[in-house]
Structure 1
């Protein structure tokens, strides 16, 4: 990671202070926890299990919405921290981004009141969804969202981004981030697909661990003031809702749960992540927040997770009010806590949670040992964060907040993430002495470049904080000059009958302007959203945008489609009319600059799709699928027009150069169970410009006895850079774990038999024997 000398000096000073006074062994922390736990009353313990949102203690007409600018309410804090001993606060009041100094003032005041009213001087733990930078902070460095990081396929950049996020989060006096998202982004219908690294378990595992290493440090020394506690989410199987809509039921077999959804969480737990957030949905009829088998037997016992288990927003309350598995709030609390929840993100009516949980313990319906286990986990994280000795971190100690070095890291990630999907006739890169029409609803929007969880929950307040950054239009203007660029927005969004009236529809004007352009940049996609507001009924690109694409393309000038979207919206109605397609995902504040550099050849694109890009709304098949999805025409009397045929496949992405793969070799073609096998391949840049290439290694289990094997699975990847004519030999090592699959009852099976490895178009077989 490249830092300025100023930041290095600051980091050394902060870290040396941490090393001198804060670093503690696990045994030392456990001893402190047990000593403190022995002194606590039941009321104090329940308080530690309670998390409230900041609005509850802010001044305003009610506890659901505080005034802005934010001022804390002394009376509300006295009730929360003295009477109820609340141990955690989250969120930002009224959804506004704050400056680092304001964050410091607010959280310092929260800590002051917490310690003032706490008999045992237990500090609060403050958490925020800092998912692609310090997302609720004015002036923070916003990185590409996770889906773009999945496309970049560069774990070192992901680790670097997380480390910078930790630095800037600590600059705001915040020690806990609700990140990374380790769910599989399997369905493009799901409104949170863009919060994931993509649809592959191995990809999510590698990048998830890299992000945790960035947040917590490779030694998980979160007491270091440069690090924060991470929070894996959402355990488990959140993104597979049958309807494709947020917080709706899923039906997942034991085999699928373990084979596809568990690996990233298992890897993250082994990497030492300190906290975990639970799936808000329902699996096989049981809300996960009430599922003892998942939360206790699987997570805590089998996986050995020793950290803090926190709910998602109001999800114990939802067991009663939404999911109807409990007849009252009190019963819902009993179910959630007994299932294995340690901290409830209440987030508003905390009295109901605290009073009822105290009552449940006194009635014997929740055991004291369950309470003690939960509070141990809370206190361990607080001690590990060094909050007892240093409850606050001051922005004055973080001079590199929002620095050029941090901005350059964001740009690099965007530049490696942006994916070239079509380049007919090598139209790209373009020369800079051309006339360009920039059109489409995403052409001049910082909101769409960042997506949700950016300055506010839905990202709708992004324009208030991003004036100094470039939209796609502005980046293109800077690149080739304003006189060479015409801008007509063309159309608004239209989703589910609702218009976003950011500008009046100007479709005919865009078509007229296209006639005078050499090239058209058609900027389509989505407005920002997340969670339920992002639910959808139609995966096709919206009607107005489709009409714009078709009419502009009909003019006959070359059209470059620039996609700026959180999930792949179907474009098959007009894809054939386009000369080029570039996927930007949600690339952050520097995404447009990176895009312009790619369009005009200053950067060679190297992103690879982290998902299958579907061709039709009813063809949402992952790249991980069974052989029966590929019953090719000609194998029988039928012509299977609806066979597996994505618009673009997982791992696809073009370059301005070409790469040749050869000499795929195995160190042995027959191994015994338990042995490793080494795989090597030589990659050569056969083009004229330097380029980066992601080398993917897939395997296939050709025959399996318990369940039908997948067609192929990603087992390793590496991103390399090659100059023209340069060759590199890339070597991977497969372990027995890579050849093991989950059986129909969730058991793990390694069988003798024949396997195949695939790199690019090359294949080699090997056998495993008893």
Structure 2
């Protein structure tokens, strides 16, 4: 392949080389004939947002049969959490903690997209995010590097399969490189300030996992990082990604992010932006045209090198060869009818939706309900086949969706289900529909309130300053709680939020994220006990936006708080003297604990953790430490527990987090069954990256936990010598 690439590059003119480095949206670029002419002249290497096998084949025919060198096009599309069959948003996928199921979902998305001519997706998004105000947390794997790495690996392997030349696979794109999820104030596109020790230890591991999994492409981010825009950051792209991590695919900019370096105040004009982008190592420019318009002139002026251009072109051609486009450039136009929304795809979508939902509260075992229970089904998200799909669903079809209302009618019967939405949509402030809600509740034994946010309220450029439910949803929940009937709250949302002011109103809370096409059947199965909840939070839930950003792997302050060292603001005596309350790291109103910790999630059964033990309390470099604990199902139904392994390095040359997730196991147990769970912890997993990028493992004392979440668990200690 490398020989073929070299031979092809040697035949290319400079204009054809630059053409390979350009990607455009045909609808923005110009007329159909203008697009064909540019392809015919070798001036484009990729198109995005061209949908339909027939259309793709038509433009591919121009590239392959009418251009001088016959180089096929890459056809890109945002296939984020499904193509036509929509799976839970990525944050929901992460809540399943099920790598194989996420991989299967990505493989289905690839198959459906490929059937319509797409051979490249701009996913997975693996930006570590610790601020729920940021709308794109919906697309991430949450706050933890290990969980994001799991999502990265699963989705890359799912999209790309074992052989990228398989016509039912597509090239993945790890994004956004790098630090995009650390936007100041949770405001999208905002500045990020990330010390190198955090860059290497928090934000880079998911990209390292994607590269190790063979990801074909990487996308640079919109943000600047420590004063340099990500698309112009030579050290991060050309240095760390390509040289240090050994990434041999190609790097594409995000939409016009090279041109946007002008708005950042980093590039003086488009020509300067093109120079900075290529110098940094961005191989292909998406949407904007600074490369097309200025690379030749920059080369003539000696401001860029032919070596950089050739390297970029070779990387692009390498991915095209790996995709098998030179041998099989065309799509079977009969595939889509038999592939899209296949029953098996819907089965996987339902299963992943079930495993992604997190049971946060279940007082007095309110859930599961019995079939035939008289249910008042209320709330603005009950019958929203479009909104339940979530953000970034360009090709999802609401007509494929099964809503909560439809699923309730099918399972529980219309005679047992009394529907009154109360609010037309989540932002609706009118309470005119509340009278119908009261009538529905009067006929029922239990209230199921499905609330949250519409799809448009999360995702790109959908940041929020407040995390409370929008519209009159709080009033709706208060009304439901006032009638003396048990209330089950189901939340469909793209972010953690809405619960601090309302959780006391419900006896049970099921956090469903935006669950996708099969939201209704998945929720009905969980609510009525056909399935048992197993999801765990991939992100910490704050008590309010004033706690953001909040995450479990924080550093220990010099004056840490505990349950005895703070007083709530309402309990402070009048005229209390300055130091009478103590001096610890907390806030007077929220304290120091979150609403729900990372890794938290209940089941319809209970699990007991006991008998933690270690293979040794002292280990040497290169050893493997085994950590054991017994997990027992102490409830009445079979359930799956996600058992988590955390460590803490008590003293380091740089301060270390109070806990770090190192591994997890999915353990399914029958009632009364016990199992010893064994984790193997290698000493090289106990180290960290220094600010210079070097990895060190330092001897000393460590704590280790086997735990149901980041706030609880069994603890032991060991020494690394």
Please classify the TM superposition score into its range, dividing by the shorter chain length.
over 0.9
| Helix, strand or coil at the partner of 1:764 | strand
2:269 & 2:339 partners in 1: Cα distance?
A: 50
Work out the CA distance in 1 between the residues paired with 2:42 and 2:329.
Answer: 20
Deviation at 1:85, TM superposition (A): 1.8
The answer on whether the counterparts of 1:520 and 1:560 sit within 8 Å (CA) in structure 2 is yes
What residue is the counterpart of 2:627 in the other structure? 679
Partner of 2:594: 646
Q: 1:42 and 2:14 equivalent?
A: yes
Q: CA deviation at 1:301?
A: 1.1
Determine the structure 2 residue equivalent to 1:20: none
What residue is the counterpart of 2:488 in the other structure?
560
**Alignment match of 1:624 (pick from 553, 560, 578):** 553
Inter-partner Cα distance in structure 2 for 1:658 and 1:355: 64
In the other structure, the counterpart of 1:289 is: 231
Which whole-Å deviations, capped at 9, do the CAs of 1:372-427 have from their partners, x for residues lacking one? 01001000001111111111221435744422112111111111111111001111
Instruction: Answer yes or no: is 1:452 the counterpart of 2:391.
Output: yes
Q: C-alpha offsets along residues 626-676 of structure 1, whole Å, 9 cap, x if unaligned? A: 223851253484265443221111111111111122222221211112322
Q: Which residue pairs with 1:19 in the alignment?
A: none
Matched, 1:205 2:205: no
Residue 634 of structure 1 is matched in structure 2 by 564
Shift of 1:51: 0.1
Q: What's 2:200 paired with?
A: 258
Range with bigger deviation, 151-160 or 671-680: 671-680
Deviation of 1:717 after TM superposition, in Å, equals 0.7
Provide the residue aligned with 2:452 in structure 1: 525
Change (3 A) 1:115 1:312: same
Aligned to 1:727, which of 656, 674, 683?
Answer: 674
**Other-structure match for 1:491:** 423
Q: Does 1:396 pair with 2:334? A: yes
Relative distance call for 1:739 and 1:116 in structure 2 (3 A) is: same
Residue of structure 1 in register with 2:715 after alignment? 763
Partner Cα separation in structure 2 for residue 548 and residue 89 of structure 1: 47
Find the aligned partners of 2:354 and 2:119 in 1 and give their Cα distance.
Answer: 29
| Aligned equivalent of 2:116, options 153, 163, 172 | 172
Aligned residue among 16, 32, 45 for 1:87: 45
Query: Counterpart in 2 of 1:141?
Result: 85
1:187 maps onto 2:119 in alignment: no
Work out whether 1:739 is the aligned partner of 2:675: no
The one of 606, 609, 621 aligned to 1:658: 606
Equivalent runs, 1:261-340 vs 2, <5 Å = 261-320=203-262, 322-340=263-281
Aligned-partner Cα distance in 2 for 1:183–1:712? 20
Matched with 2:63 is 114
Q: For residue 668 of structure 1, what is the aligned residue in structure 2?
A: 616
> Equivalents in 1 of 2:123, 2:234: separation in Å?
24
Is the 1:438–1:521 contact (alpha carbons within 8 Å) kept by the matching residues of 2? yes
- Alignment match of 1:439 (pick from 372, 375, 378): 378
Give the aligned partner of residue 425 of structure 1. 364
- Give the conservation status (yes or no) of the 8 Å contact 1:185–1:194: no
- After TM superposition, the score normalised by the length of structure 2 is 0.93
**CA deviations over 1:421-479 (Å, ceiling 9, x no partner):** 100111111122222122221111122221111135xxxxx6xx222432112212212
Of 170-179 and 74-83, more deviation after overlay is shown by 74-83
- Whole-angstrom distance in 1 between the partners of 2:36 and 2:535: 52
Aligned-partner Cα distance in 2 for 1:467–1:225 = 27
Matches within 5 A, 1:463-474: 465-474=397-406
SS in 2 for 1:535: coil
For 2:154 and 2:465, how far apart are their aligned partners in 1? 35
Runs of at least 5 residues in structure 1 that lack an aligned partner in the other structure: 1-28, 58-62, 64-72, 93-97, 135-139, 457-461
Distance across 1 between alignment mates of 2:196 and 2:486: 50
CA contact 1:85–1:118 (8 Å) conserved in 2:
no
Q: Is the 8 A contact 1:694 1:717 kept in 2?
A: yes
1:311-353 per-residue CA deviation (whole Å, 9 max, x = no partner) reads 0011111111x21211211111111111110000025xx4x54
Matched, 1:405 2:344: yes
Q: CA–CA distance in 2 between the matches of 1:39 and 1:506?
A: 70
Write the distance in 2 (CA, Å) between the matches of 1:455 and 1:369.
Answer: 38
| Preserved contact between residue 77 and residue 113 of structure 1 (Cα < 8 Å) | no
CA contact 1:632–1:643 (8 Å) conserved in 2: no
| Cα distance in 2, alignment partners of residues 78 and 488 from structure 1 | 53
SS at match of 1:627: coil
Please give the alpha-carbon distance, in whole angstroms, between the structure 1 residues aligned to 2:192 and 2:565: 34
**2:459 and 2:102 mapped to 1: Cα distance?**
24
Contact 1:522/1:560 (<8 A) preserved: yes
Q: Is the 8 A contact 1:317 1:346 kept in 2?
A: no
Corresponding residue for residue 543 of structure 2: 615
- Secondary structure of the residue that 1:126 maps to in structure 2? strand
Give 3-state SS (helix, strand or coil) of 2:676's partner: strand
Q: Distance in 2 between matches of 1:444 and 1:32?
A: 55
RMSD: 2.0
Q: Secondary structure at the match of 1:715?
A: strand
Answer whether contact 1:330 1:356 (CA < 8 A) is retained.
yes
Cross-structure match for 1:595? 523
Q: TM-score, normalised by structure 1?
A: 0.87
Aligned residues of 2:386 and 2:401 also touching (Cα < 8 A): no
- Which residue of structure 1 aligns with residue 53 of structure 2? 104
Number of aligned positions between the proteins: 694
CA positional deviation for 1:536: 1.8
Change (3 A) 1:677 1:409: same
Aligned residue for 1:491, secondary structure, equals coil
Q: 1:201, CA displacement in angstroms?
A: 0.5
1:693 aligns with 2:641: yes
Query: Does 2:72 match 1:123?
Result: yes
Q: Which residue of 1 aligns with 2:660?
A: 713
Q: Residues of 1 paired with 2:563 and 2:715: CA distance?
A: 23
Separation in 2, partners of 1:505, 1:472: 22
Distance between the aligned counterparts of 2:386 and 2:142, measured in 1? 22
Greater CA drift, 287-296 or 673-682: 673-682
Distance in 2 between residues matched to 1:532 and 1:196, nearest whole Å: 11
Displacement of 1:542: 1.6
Distance in 1 between residues matched to 2:683 and 2:206, nearest whole Å:
18
Alignment partner of 1:346 is 2:287: yes
Q: Distance in 1 between matches of 2:441 and 2:112?
A: 44
| CA deviation string 1:466-497 (max 9, x = no partner) | 22432112212212111222222222556xxx
SS in structure 2 of the partner of residue 522 of structure 1: strand
CA distance in structure 2 between the partners assigned to 1:323 and 1:722 by the alignment: 54
Is the CA contact (8 Å cut-off) linking 1:493 and 1:544 kept in structure 2? no
Are residues 720 and 630 of structure 1, via their aligned partners in 2, closer, same or farther at CA, if it must alter by over 3 Å? same
Give, in whole Å, the separation in 2 of the partners of 1:743 and 1:505.
59
Any residues of structure 2 matched to 1:214-229 within 5 Å, and which? 214-218=158-162, 221-229=163-171
Residues 533 and 751 of structure 1: is their aligned pair in 2 closer, same or farther, counting only changes over 3 Å? closer
Are residues 233 and 334 of structure 1, via their aligned partners in 2, closer, same or farther at CA, if it must alter by over 3 Å?
Answer: same
SS in 2 for 1:737: helix
Q: Secondary structure at the match of 2:411?
A: helix
> Aligned residue for 1:538?
466
* Mapped contact 1:448–1:565 kept (Cα < 8 A): no
Partners of 1:395 and 1:147 lie apart in 2 by 33
- Asked if 2 retains the 8 angstrom alpha-carbon contact of 1:493 and 1:542, the reply is no
Query: Does 2:23 match 1:51?
Result: yes
Deviation (angstroms), 1:508: 4.2
- Report the CA distance between 1:181 and its aligned residue: 1.2
Corresponding residue of 1:550: 478
For 2:245 and 2:65, locate their aligned partners in 1 and report how far apart those are by CA, in whole Å: 38
Q: Does structure 2 conserve the Cα–Cα contact (< 8 Å) formed by 1:346 and 1:353?
A: no
Contact 1:570-1:614 within 8 A present in 2 as well:
no
